[in-house]
Structure 1
Amino acid sequence: MLDVVFIMLIFFIVTSSFVKEPGVEITKTEAVSTGACERGTIIFAVTALGDIYYDKKEISLDNARRLAEAAKKESPKANFVIQADVDSPTGVVSKLFTILKPLMEGSPLCASTEEAG
């Protein structure tokens, strides 16, 4: 019986996918209308200073494409999520969107916001 439990534990560990948090605190904008983002697990964050974070590390805009391609190969069905601070420069968010758009393969790009309330 114990062998079966260990085999099940190993199976669930091997088949599960883990969310890589961006690792930075940001103040999200409040959304008027919201909807759940299906399978949104590839998360990039843009701070108020325009710094981009992925997997708890600050990255350059040039490295964002390489990291996004690697993450998409690891989780092909996952969507991209951009968490942008209220005061983040729109130019940086726009450039990040431009980098991620070719990798989305018809799936929507999600923006992480605070619920209105």
Structure 2
Amino acid sequence: MSMREGAARKPAGNESTIDLTPMLDVVFIMLIFFIVTSSFVKEPGVELMKPQATTTEACERGTIIFAVDSRGEIHYDKNRVSLDRAMRLAETAKKEAPQANVVIQVDRETPAFAVEQLIDELRPMLTAPPCISTDDEV
């Protein structure tokens, strides 16, 4: 018996193997799909004591988030920004996500004029009224 004849023989018994390659292909395709279609929210990065509200409505597609702290300083993506830079950042974020709305998080001690200035600055690029983030009444 030659070596080739011995190598061509299958081992005795009924051994079968499962090919996992198609399953891994599907898993990787799903992973790529979820990574590509997900949107990441940029948190403003400042701790706020939000005011309470008796009536609230959910803000649809609110993913451009600014925060105005108790000193009237504006924060975006964990950085303090000036009023004119807030407009440029909002325009850039709007290009990335055209359906996104602006959400403004405020502190209980935030001066009203600071929020008004921010809204006035962002008004030209707004497609819907900005949402003000609050806590539910307890």
Q: For this structure pair, what is the TM-score category when the shorter chain's length is used for normalisation?
A: over 0.9
Return the index of the structure with the highest Cα Rg: 2
For 1:108 and 1:47, locate their aligned partners in 2 and report how far apart those are by CA, in whole Å.
20
Q: What is residue 113 of structure 1 aligned with on the other side?
A: 134
Count of residue pairs the alignment pairs up: 116
Quick one: which amino acid aligns to residue 30 of structure 2? M
Runs of 4+ in 1 over 4 A off after TM superposition: none
Measured on the aligned residues, the alpha-carbon RMSD in Å equals 0.9
Instruction: Flag the structure with more relative contact order, 1 or 2, with Cα contacts below 8 A and sequence separation at least 6.
Output: 1
C-alpha contact 2:45 2:78 (8 A) present in aligned 1: yes
TM-score by length of 1: 0.95
After TM superposition, the score normalised by the length of structure 2 is 0.81
Gaps of 5+ in 2: 1-22
Q: Work out which of the residue numbers 31, 44, 66 in structure 1 matches 2:66.
A: 44
Q: 1:83 is matched by which residue type in structure 2? A: Q
Residue aligned with 2:99, SS: coil
Q: For 1:84 and 1:94, how far apart are their aligned partners in 2? A: 12
Quote the residue 1:103 is aligned against. 125
Shift of 1:8: 1.1
Structure 2: how far apart are the matches of 1:54 and 1:113? Answer: 17
Q: 1:21 pairs with 43, 46, 70, which one?
A: 43
Q: Is the 8 A contact 2:84 2:121 kept in 1?
A: no
For residues 114 and 17 of structure 1, the distance between their equivalents in structure 2, rounded to whole angstroms, comes to: 24
Structure 1 residue runs without a partner (length 5+) = none
Q: What SS class does the counterpart of residue 113 from structure 2 fall into?
A: helix
What secondary structure, in the 3-state scheme, does the structure 2 residue paired with 1:23 have?
A: coil
